[in-house]
Amino acid sequence: ARLPHSAPAKTLLHTALTDADATLREQAAYLFSRRVSATQPELAPLLNHSDYRLQLGSIRGILELNPADAPARQHLNRLLADTV
């Protein structure tokens, strides 16, 4: 299932943090993080979460919007280092 891009931010964050479906959590994290208005304090719980899928969705959303985002790039590098 996919959430529409117009879904409220609180709903996206709640879904990302609580849904049982890993694919839906990742998609919600992606959509939440891809918002132009998203701030680093809002994104931190997703980027620092123990759930790999949340981190991946959030990083992808941030970097698609802003490929030069330093915190997202650092988190991506950490994820890559952890998987090697």
**Residue 49 Cα distances to 4, 25, 75, angstroms:** 23, 12, 11
Summarised one tens digit per residue, pLDDT across range 4-41 is 555 588 999 999 999 999 999 999 999 999 998 888 99
The rounded mean pLDDT for the chain is 90
The mean per-residue pLDDT over the stretch 54-79 comes to: 94
**High-pLDDT (> 70) share of the chain, %:** 90
- CB distance 54 to 16 below 8 Å: yes
